[in-house]
Structure 1
Amino acid sequence: MRDILYFILGMGCIFLIGALISLIEYLYKMKYIKQNINNKYGKKLDIDDAIYKMASVSSYFENKKITKSIDNITWNDLNMDDVYNTINNTQSTAGRDVLYSILREPLFNEDILTKRDNLIEFFRNNEQIRKDVQYILAKLGYSKELYTTNCLFNSIDNSKSKLLKYNLLSMIPFISLLLIFINFNFLFLCIASMAVNVWISYTEKKHNYNVDGFTYIISMVNTAKKLKNLNISKINQNLHDINLHLDNVKKIRMKSIDGSSVLINADMNVFGEYFNMITLKELRNYEKVKNTVIKNSKDFKALYDYVGSIDALIAVASFRDSLNYYTKPSLIKSSSKNDNILEFDEIYHLLINNPVSNSGSFNNSILLTGSNASGKSTFIKTIAINAILAQTIYTVCAKNYKSSYFNIYTSMALKDDIFSNESYYIVEIKSLKRILDNSNEDIPCLCFVDEILRGTNTVERIASSCEVLSHLEKSNTICFAATHDIELTHLLEDSFGNYHFEETITNRDIEFDYKLHRGRALTRNAIKLLDFIGYDKEIVDNANNRASQFLETGKWKYKI
């Protein structure tokens, strides 16, 4: 009796120690969450700290298959992954995914943008409520599964037949155990069936099992319920009502796929790993949850968007507070090409430290000329990025901003496609073609082209560029085109405005002011840069002589 008592006391002590360790770990985690919320809000984020894979982040957007969005060429041209990482102060996978989706889907509806802004400003101005909401979102946290949102987009499969099979197999060991009293040989069937179930559980979980994704969805539903129970009027007024969606999926809220609770501090598996494998419990629960998610996919998507939107808009609030200055855009719907407008004061590039700002007012297309490194590409990226931010998060890095609603396209940082065996020129003309194909829609196009048709010879480049740009100007488009071809500024001067960036050249250095100036560029620095870098004097002098001779006669001198 004494030995039994000692055993019970020993087991009790082990249990209490384990519970105490779990409690300490939980309290430490909660403390870290609160410190992280306080330390990161309103601070400029370091994009190098992003440890997630963008392929995972983009899966929610990709699965939605939106027809009108910022396409991949434009997104990559503008380094929008870095822009996203600068804004992404979210607390959950749902927030991370939805923020990315928001930035990929420009809006043309003032009402939705205004509702987003209402929530952003509410969280900026109500610190304690914002922290309470962030705390709930941070406890939801991030899923281990890289593609959690794929679970929301599962197509109907043979899950029902799998569930029936698992149910039958799970009963065989127990039925065989009962039949042993009739015939002892059923013991072998019992042992064999248990071994088969363990093998099935192991192989299925290894190859066809997304437990982290579906477990996260269950946690997400519980988080949506918690946020709804806060009964924050601003959220209720500016986001869609989720009560019906919660009712439709209420049976899943307390389910657990892996036999353990979905709470953040739960680490115990009550029935044991092997018992679950013998009874196929985890696989059966997995199929039940999967069937429920597939059957009620619209409800789960709505709840995911609800939770993610709240998290994403708090991140935008943090982003606004991290900026030196910003403005809310004034956006208008253009009824004709003549109504198209783009105006801004002291606009700047949010990824550049100590950026130089610029101002401008445009209602037609412009050509940008200037020397190498003078700021042409940075300027057009600045305008393009802020145009996207205006129509997504209602935030512009400028002091004033007025614009038409635009479809936004770029053709800039292109490369040869070695996988499809396409040259740079083929890639470029395909990129320009997609802009031309979308330039005559009711919604005007705002496009940005850097060094148009640089992949071909001078004569054909200038001839083709002139016609492409002329076509864009005649369509429902405002085009910003950067070029080194001064000839284009003369050929298109009746339809394109001319602007340039310039530099000051001394004997020792080249200095740029990165400011936009009216008119075409009149200076060159490519050969001067060869001199500064340390090229042989003969190379530099001969290059200067060739260039000067061509400018005087219009012909190249083949011998010097």
Structure 2
Amino acid sequence: MGLFRSSRRKIQEKTAASWGKIKEKRRNFDLISRYAATGTGSAFYRLTDQTLSDIDVEDLFACIDRTETGIGQQVLFHTLLHPTNDIEALKVTHQLSDYFLSNPQIRKNIQYHLYRLEQSGTYFIVDLFAPGREDKRKNPIYKTLALAAATLTVLSLFVHTLFSLLIILFFVNILVHFIHRNRSQNRIQTVSEAFSTITTAQKLVALDLPMENQAAIKTAIQKLSSINRLFRFLGAPTPSDDLSIIVLLIFELLKGFFLVEPLALNRCYKLALHNEAAFKTIYQFIGSIDLALSKASLRSDSAYKNCIPEFTIEEKTLRFSNAYHPLITDPVSNSFQVQQQHIFITGSNMSGKSTFLRTVLINSILAQTLYFCFAESFITSMYKQYSAIKIADNLFENESYFYKELEVIRAMVQQSEAPFNHLFLIDEIYKGTNTTERMALSLAVLQYLNRNKDLVIASSHDLELVTFLKGSYKMYHFSESIHNDQLVFDYHIKEGAVQSRNAIKLAAIEKYPPPVIQQAMEYTKLFVTKEH
């Protein structure tokens, strides 16, 4: 009992030390994404691969992930990929996180149980209710050999000549037993996780948390109780002393001779086939608790100023105060508001355009997934978010930067035909092609998107577009200044189009030869004259 209390105290000290802080740990996204890969989720929509790249989804996940279990990570990742327009659903997790913040003792107790659960692993239980799953390992030979073992054991008591045949069958079945165990490690692990998860769910449901589906949880646990009984026949227990080694060896030989483990494992999977809904209910119960705990820990992190978003029925609305990008060290925050207008942003490289677009994108997504924003305030319409910010070519698929950009923006144009509100964010539109066609295509696409209830925020180096877009797009810019031959950025968004051109000045600072700088200045005058 004293050892148990010491272990519990150490676990609670460890979870308490990590509360309200980023968890520095290795994350395997092949495992974390298993639930998201099942294809189940919000009926609203799923973020595109391009948008996931634009928000640096793995780095963002590492920033907000304060979960204790693999199930919690999977549910959090799945949630992040599926924004919703159901405000009441968003409030459910938020209210549970409020409950944990107000009841630290209950929270610590739950963290202890979840920490213990994760020691068994929880990444594979999702396989028990994944769509399209089927048991492909059923093998009638196990039943045949097990029946033969039982029959020969009884008959050899009366017919001693069968004893030699019994010995042969003993070694055959032992060999089959260990071959099966070696080939079925993943399945045994899955059932092991199921056993631990059901046990943990029993402990958590007894806490009578403020969750609406308590009755459904209890029913699901009851349906799966038979798996708990079968679990003891799976795997190889760890002996604790010399006597237990002997007992477990005898038990292992008996299991092997009668092929108890393959039969029990197949029975477990047969039960799983008939109780997918129950497994999913328990999985989501554990995941929603861990997600709410993670959010409560994130809200308690003093390193991140945060707020609860407000949703408005007003169309094309976005207003926020001191919003910032959470993945940047010492980020510069920006305040911004727009209603019934699109936005066109100009400015030089490194001035802050891309970071601003990502800040808007990340906070818009978090508002509709975690009901949480990195800002002092964030008021927004409900959107489906689509972005083209960090586009990259693909040499392995022979896909150029411009062709990839065409594909991504074409998807936005197609989505604009759909009835729901969209938030389209485009950085350096069509920078992958020549100047004349870039400007022509950019203007045509931005004017085409200037309709319906969508909100477009686009950026470009091309100041020439400002003249054509005035009236339909409101102009904003980021700027920089040069002091003592140093480039200085303030990273604050400002109204109006940018007025200065500093590229040649920067080249001079970087010690380009004077003839190059002089010639560039002459060409600039020529180009400006032709523009007018």
User: TM above 0.5, one fold?
Assistant: yes
Find the counterpart in structure 1 of residue 268 from structure 2. Answer: 289
- Equivalent in the alignment of 2:222: 247
Q: Measured at CA, do residues 306 and 546 of structure 1 come closer, stay the same or move farther in structure 2, by a change above 3 Å? A: same
Shift of 1:63: 0.6
Equivalence for 2:523? 546
Q: In structure 2, which of residues 185, 194, 198 is the aligned counterpart of residue 217 of structure 1?
A: 194
The one-letter amino acid of 1:328's match is: I
Distance 1:230 1:146 in 2: 24
- For 1:197 and 1:154, the matched residues in 2 are separated by 34
Asked if structure 1 preserves the Cα contact closer than 8 Å seen for 2:234 and 2:265, the reply is no
Hey, what's the Cα distance between the residues in 1 that align with 2:145 and 2:334? Answer: 71
CA distance in 2 between counterparts of 1:411 and 1:239 reads 43
Normalised TM-score (structure 2): 0.90
Q: Report 1:9-88 matches (<5 A).
A: 29-43=7-21, 45=22, 49-66=24-41, 68-88=45-65
Match of 2:89 among 99, 112, 119: 112
Q: 2:311 aligns with which of 298, 307, 331?
A: 331
In structure 2, do the counterparts of structure 1 residues 492 and 195 end up closer, same or farther at CA, with 3 Å as the change threshold? farther
- Answer yes or no: is the 8 Å Cα contact 1:95–1:312 preserved in 2: yes
CA distance in 1, matches of 2:233, 2:413: 53
Q: Which range moved further: 407-416 or 528-537?
A: 528-537
Tell me the SS of whatever aligns to 1:413. Answer: coil
Q: Is the 8 A contact 1:257 1:282 kept in 2?
A: no
State the alpha-carbon separation in 2 of the partners of residues 209 and 460 from structure 1: 58
Correspondence for 1:198 among 174, 191, 199? 174
Root mean square deviation of aligned Cα? 2.9
**Rounded Cα–Cα distance in structure 1 between residues aligned with 2:390 and 2:237:** 45
Judging changes above 3 Å, is the alpha-carbon distance between structure 1 residues 258 and 544 closer, same or farther for their aligned structure 2 residues?
Answer: farther
| Mapped contact 1:215–1:257 kept (Cα < 8 A) | no
* Counterpart AA for 1:62: A
Residue-by-residue CA offset, 1:156-181 (whole Å, 9 max, x unaligned) = 6456953x532222232343344445
Specify which of 116, 125, 129 is matched with residue 106 of structure 2.
129
Give yes or no for the alignment of 1:440 onto 2:421.
no
Deviation per residue, 1:225-272 (Å, 9 max, x gap): 11110112x2x3487842222222222234316646999x99988355
Distance 1:510-1:238 versus aligned 2 partners, 3 A rule: farther
- Equivalent pair of 2:120/2:196 in contact (CA under 8 Å): no
User: What is the total number of aligned residue pairs between the two structures?
Assistant: 522
1:77-476 alignment to 2 at 5 Å?
Answer: 77-141=54-118, 144=121, 147-153=124-130, 155=132, 157=134, 161-162=138-139, 164-180=140-156, 186-210=162-186, 211-232=188-209, 234=210, 236-237=211-212, 241-256=216-231, 259=234, 270=248, 271-323=250-302, 324-333=304-313, 339-363=315-339, 364-476=341-453
| 3-state SS in 2 of match to 1:226 | helix
- Distance in structure 1 (CA, Å) of the matches to 2:8 and 2:313: 47
Could you tell me which runs of 5 or more consecutive residues in structure 1 were left unpaired when the two chains were aligned.
Answer: 1-19, 556-560
1:493 maps to what in 2?
470
Q: In 1, Cα distance between the equivalents of 2:484 and 2:387? A: 37
Task: Give the Cα separation in 1 of the matches to 2:214 and 2:113.
Answer: 18
Gaps of 5+ in 2: none
Structure-2 change in CA distance of 1:212 and 1:173 (3 Å): same
Alpha-carbon contact 1:372-1:525 (below 8 Å) kept: no
TM-score w.r.t. the length of structure 1 is 0.86
Question: Match of 2:222, as an amino acid?
Answer: D
Distance 1:188 1:464, change over 3 A: farther
- Could you tell me how far apart the structure 2 residues matched to 1:273 and 1:421 are? 56
Distance 1:534 1:439 in 2: 47
Q: Distance in 2 between matches of 1:300 and 1:508?
A: 65
User: Are the counterparts in 2 of residues 173 and 189 from structure 1 also a CA contact under 8 Å?
Assistant: no
